[in-house]
Structure 1
């Protein structure tokens, strides 16, 4: 035999009742069953509202009653043939008249006692069970309405009555011995030995199902609801949550205690004592297997993760009782907990330091003021003498509970859990874990709850992919190329590395746009252009903070100091940064040092490989050499693609000014070529290399040989600049001829040696690695203790949108990998 229990959403209207009937008829083909039903969805709340309005003397209780009456009458008219409706409508009206009379009585005396509330709440289940039983008869199923008040006997604790198990079981067994029809039973309600109506508290209908199941020793209890079983996390907060196929009773109770939509723990007790499996099924998806809850998970079932699920309580307050007067004093905890118990304050979580110096408890926010007052009164003497501090209250907290049988005796679970939160900048205010190792509970800021759930879920469950959430500013040549690369590579990343890159925010100099689920990269330009949100860097950063997504990365593809000035703010928000923008690292040393310090303090990544050499692995190679213990003796580098092109093209037959004009026409130079010829861009890159080696250098410390005279820099415009430059063509030819005579070539070389940085035009011979450089390539030569005879050389394109964007893309991947 089985018990089938249908919740309020399963019987919310006539259409759903028909679906329930299909499930019942299908079950009857296989087993003998009994059915427990809840009130129609929303009806219990509406009855409570009607009672409260009546108690206040508010005529709105009449409107509430009319709505209750309408919903039940409409269900009957839909479910029952018109020729058979009159009797059922009349019987239903009789029940409704009783409710109406009771509400009128409450209205007259202006009082709603707990006992009266229990009585009026019972009408929801009574109406629902009666209508379902009659609808089944209409569908040729011989069924009988059962008012469980006649069978389930309780004490007089109205609102949350305690069941007399022995008498209740005897009543149920006797009833089923004498009644062979399909029983449609009211959930949630019982009665005292004097037949006063009581309710069974939160999860009461589930409890009713468990009581009937245990009394009849059924083989299974099916709980039909509106979800596909118990989920690994709340699907409203974690989109990748999925149904858990198997749970133990203990796992289900732990998850339920911390907010998971399972079964209220007391409701499970009768079933667990008789070791009766409970199955959570979905009325809206009846073919889905749901979640099977039993004493033990079948040995043949392979667990998909080290944990079973994650649940949370959204809003709690933390009370911290601390002081030297707590240390080694017997009975302090007893006094604290007894004081709160006397005030009927439920403690959700307890955490105590081994030093006994402090006790931390989590409670419902509505109880905080009452708890605070009670504790201060209980410990008044200790507080006045300074032995106990005044109780601290921390508001707006959430509890995250990680649950699973497999956590027992499995090393590394806590480390993995704490790392997943730490890597996403989520601070833990309190921790609690029982010796059973079945549950690790953490208190965090409420604003971080969703972020924490997603981070933990991605860490422990083998999701289809890990997500990285990108906020990109700068959609010019490099930024747009990067977006195209991500679009082209995303499916490959998902298939091979289980990584998905979401572009959550985009901004350019004019507009900005955000999409929590990701911007469609096939039409990002149209989406951004149509945005009504104008770019404001502070607002952009505030939106990144507000969304508070795990694995968030801020990507700066601008050359703008206004953006780089926000890096400190971004890192303080525990968001990683990837950028080709050199402004922050080549500006004030104090800024550079502060950003480095913040990355350590906040456990964030600040990646800028493309600051030097675009996509070439120059900075990462330098870091590898240093951390492996090598000593850098000298760095030589050609770090400007523009100047590389100029000197690789220049010979004694060509005019210096004409080559620069050609380079400008091909887009190899800045709009004003003097920006390249000044050597400042190379100096910034050399400064970054120097600082990465531990130097405190400033830009002014670098000796720069300018390639053109001061007269050219003072030219009023570009045309005037080229006229003045022609005067020096012969001077450059003479330098080239001299180099050629010595079988050398000219190169504009940045050098770092003995803590001195300089940039100069040099002649290099055939033995030098820079001799064969061609096109616009960059090249870096590391001379170290290990690479002394033959320097370590890195060579390749050091400029261009494709390679720079690829370098930025690689840094984004380093964040998550």
Structure 2
């Protein structure tokens, strides 16, 4: 014989009930069944609301009862032939009339006693089970209904009664000895006391009912049928990558269910555990799925963690003071107070110094607990020996659960470091001596990030999900998105990095998608997005609070460069090709670097110098290894190098500058490149990354542009000025030829001084043969004295800049 329980979603409507009946009918061909059913989905909540409304003198309770009645009679019409309905309709009418009478009494008295509340709440299971039992007879004639209240006996602790197992087991065994029905339908959740009062077994009590019956009849298995494929490695509504757990021990299942795995009511395991009756959790809507088997001997795998669970809406109460040190009985008094107030303690931790003790309870109990504790310790508080109870609300408990955790070192270290890297602050920690559970208390706002981060660490082969928020989708931005789309699969399979673009923005529009933007059609998504707003963009990124969040700035915008601190201070990494922030005043640069270290948020800007060339990364490694940079010589403008390499008697300066813009080598405002400002920013960044303090004003800029060119305010006027001063530029060309040299715009740093400007480079210089848009940097250091360390390659262009940004993203993924 086996016991089955079907939850509220399994019996939510006629369609689902038919699925349930089909499962029962199929199983009844080979086994006798005890079937426990819940109330129709949502009905228990309606009943509780009706009781509260009636006691509050709100006549809306009558409408609620009418809605409940309609719901059940519609189910009868859809499930049972008209010719067979009269008897069940009489039963339903009788129950509804009883319910109305009770609620009318509550309305008149203006109160709802605990005893009445139990009777009212139990009508859902009574109504559903009798309808389902009648409908089942159409397929399994040898089936019947039995009221659980006649078999399960409890005390009078209304709301969550305790079972008298001796009497209950005798009644259940006697019933089945004298019952030849192939299937018996029982209402879950309800029972009765010795004096005949209806009691309930707590929300989720239908599971418990099924377990009580299964234990009494020594069932082969207890099957819990619900709307998911068993217990999951984490809540699948929060962690999309969560997977069903195939097998799990009773103890592990109890831990997970206690910490919020709502697929199983925690007390369910207790009755079947002593008789080693396995529990199988199955999906009514996918019956062929394996589900989760709970037993004494689950199969093992290499992962010591079976699941990650959580309880939200938690308050942390702290009692501390020197008056607790060495004083026996303090803890006893504290827990007695809570017991008297009927407050359940979910979490406990105490400092070894005995100076403080922390407990976790539900938010809803916090106010009563605080008052009761302060009253119980009022003498010690008045004497200054103990502080008033400290209450922190809106917290959450997250727990790692696994029977084998005790045999694996470093689990807690991995847990804490994983949370720490994502700036999830741990308020309290608890771990039992059994080492089956490690629990931490965190802010409720961080729970999604925490669960996903831990699941990624322990269940997803260390695949790291990176969530990108991209601002700027021009030439470089478009190439960047194309590269991500192209390499996404490779990175996931070969580098264990899952890159997702969550947001895109340009100057006009922005679009967010928490499940990731489809990069094959991102332009349409952006065109259909909302109006761009920087403040709104920032707040949305913070509100999402996703793990491994990265803000990617692919603009040249001053305002955007000014918001990096808002991201870094929230543990959101920043990757940027925008040079403005790192070349701003030194205090701002230093602040961003400090925030990056403080909040463990990478701040990467490789493309600030040399586009995709690994110049900054190489420099960082030099410094980290203990070397010291003494001198830098560099050609750092791919656009200027392109311009002077192509400028000739047959190709005017104006035309070659135009072409550089078309090729994407210059900034949108080409004057930034030609004025030397862009190169000055780059050498300043290298100087700062070398460990020196310097500001832009200290760099000598020997600008080669005439004053008229510099004073223009738009691109049209600027290009017109280049034509006007063609003779000036031709003179530079002539001078270079006379000196048998090539024109290069060189940045230098030596002896604490820096300068940028045109130089005539002789043939023997490594700078002479620098072609196209290439950059070159020479680092003279304590180790590279006579022969510098040289980095050379393409230093401009949308594709190489995009690849440099992409490389920074991959660097973060490898951390």
For the aligned pair, the TM-score class normalised by the smaller chain equals: over 0.9
2:549 pairs, out of 552, 569, 575, with 552
Provide, for residues 289-333 of structure 1, a one-character-per-residue CA deviation record: whole Å limited to 9, x for no partner.
Answer: 1111112313xx425x33211222221222222222222222222
CA apart distance, 1:761: 4.0
Q: TM-score, normalised by structure 2?
A: 0.94
Match of 1:805 among 792, 802, 806: 802
Taking a change above 3 Å as real, the CA distance of residues 19 and 671 of structure 1, as seen in their structure-2 partners, is closer
- C-alpha separation between the residues in 2 aligned to 1:711 and 1:38? 84
**Quick check: 1:562 aligned with 2:556?**
no
Structure 1 range deviating more: 585-594 or 429-438: 429-438
1:478·1:805 contact (CA, 8 Å) conserved in 2?
yes
CA distances 1:674-696 after superposition (whole Å, capped 9, x unpaired):
54343222111111100001100
- Counterpart of 2:154 in 1: which secondary structure? coil
CA shift at 1:107, angstroms?
Answer: 4.3
Q: How does 1:38-437 map to 2 (within 5 A)?
A: 38-181=38-181, 182-298=183-299, 301-303=300-302, 305-437=303-435
**Cα deviation code 1:202-237 (max 9, x no counterpart):** 332211111111111112100111221112222222
Q: Which residue pairs with 2:494 in the alignment?
A: 496
Deviation at 1:766, TM superposition (A): 4.8
**How many pairs align?**
806
Work out the CA distance in 1 between the residues paired with 2:775 and 2:655: 21
Q: 1:753 to 1:178 in 2, by over 3 A?
A: same
8 A Cα contact 1:475 1:507, kept in partner: yes
Q: Which moved more, 1:61-70 or 1:315-324?
A: 61-70
Change in 2 beyond 3 A, CA 1:119/1:729: closer
Give the Cα separation in 1 of the matches to 2:402 and 2:410: 14
The change in CA–CA distance for 1:53 and 1:647 in structure 2 (over 3 A counts) is closer
Change (3 A) 1:333 1:554: same
SS in 2 for 1:202: coil
Counterparts of 1:516-527 in structure 2, within 5 Å, are 516-527=514-525
Q: 1:464 to 1:90 in 2, by over 3 A?
A: farther
Per mean C-alpha deviation after superposition, the further-off stretch among 549-558 and 775-784 is 775-784
Contact 1:203/1:267 (8 A) holds in 2: no
Q: 1:452 aligns with which of 423, 436, 450?
A: 450
Tell me, in whole angstroms, the C-alpha distance in 2 between the residues paired with 1:605 and 1:356. 39
- Secondary structure (helix, strand or coil) at the match of 1:402 reads strand
SS of 1:583 mapped into structure 2 = coil
**Is the Cα–Cα contact under 8 Å of residues 456 and 462 in structure 2 kept in the other structure?**
no
SS in 1 for 2:381: helix
Aligned with residue 467 of structure 2, among 462, 466, 469: 469
Distance 1:728 1:147, change over 3 A: closer
1:74–1:391 distance in 2 versus 1, CA, 3 Å: same
Whether 2:637 is the aligned partner of 1:640: answer: yes
Task: Indicate if the aligned counterparts of 2:654 and 2:719 stay in contact, CA closer than 8 A.
Answer: no
Q: Distance in 1 between matches of 2:44 and 2:670?
A: 78
Which has the larger displacement, 491-500 or 29-38?
491-500
CA RMSD of aligned residues (A): 2.4
Counterpart of 1:39 in 2: which secondary structure?
A: coil
Residues 777 and 187 of structure 1: is their aligned pair in 2 closer, same or farther, counting only changes over 3 Å? same
TM-fit CA distance, 1:164: 1.4
Q: 1:56-114 CA deviation, whole Å, 9 max, x = no partner?
A: 45443333333333333332332222223223333443444444444444445444322
Secondary structure of the equivalent of 2:692? coil
Distance 1:714 1:80 in 2: 88
Ranges in structure 1 where 5+ consecutive residues have no aligned partner: none
Corresponding residue number in structure 2 for 1:682: 679
Secondary structure of residue in 2 paired with 1:584? coil
Could you say which residue in structure 1 is the equivalent of 2:4?
Answer: 4
Matches within 5 A, 1:646-725: 646-649=643-646, 654=649, 658-659=652-653, 661-667=655-661, 668-669=665-666, 674-708=671-705, 713=710, 718-725=719-726
Q: Secondary structure of the equivalent of 2:425?
A: coil
| Alignment partners' CA distance in 1, 2:612 and 2:585 | 25
Q: Structure 2 matches for 1:588-627, cutoff 5 A?
A: 588-627=585-624
Change over 3 Å in CA distance of 1:769–1:384 after alignment to 2 = same
Structure 1 residue 670 displacement after superposition? 5.5
Q: CA deviation at 1:816?
A: 1.9
| Change beyond 3 A, Cα 1:510–1:124 | closer
Report the Cα distance in structure 1 between the residues aligned to 2:646 and 2:100, rounded to whole angstroms: 98
- Residue of structure 1 aligned with 2:581, choices 579, 584, 588: 584
